[in-house]
Amino acid sequence: DAKTTQPTSMDCAEGRAANLPCNHSTISGNEYVYWYRQIHSQGPQYIIHGLKNNETNEMASLIITEDRKSSTLILPHATLRDTAVYYCIVRGNFGNEKLTFGTGTRLTIIP
Amino acid sequence: DSGVTQTPKHLITATGQRVTLRCSPRSGDLSVYWYQQSLDQGLQFLIQYYNGEERAKGNILERFSAQQFPDLHSELNLSSLELGDSALYFCASSVAGVGYTFGSGTRLTVV
The answer to whether B36 faces chain A, any CB pair under 8 Å, is no
What three-state secondary structure class fits A103?
coil
- pLDDT for the residue A56: 97
User: Mean per-residue pLDDT for A38-54?
Assistant: 92
- pLDDT for the residue A6: 96
Query: Would you call B97 and A46 a contact, using CB atoms and an 8 Å cutoff?
Result: no
Least confident window among A76-80, B32-36, B55-59: B55-59
- pLDDT for the residue A30: 84
- pLDDT for the residue A98: 78
B-chain CB neighbours of A85 within 8 Å are none
Query: Would you call B105 and A42 a contact, using CB atoms and an 8 Å cutoff?
Result: yes
Q: Are A1 and A97 in contact (CB under 8 A)?
A: no
Q: Are A10 and A106 in contact (CB under 8 A)?
A: yes
Mutate to test the interface with B, among A99, A101, A103 (most CBs of B within 10 A): A99
Q: What pLDDT, in 10s, does the model give residues A62-73? A: 999 999 999 999
Query: What is d(CA B78, CA B74) in angstroms, rounded to the nearest whole number?
Result: 13
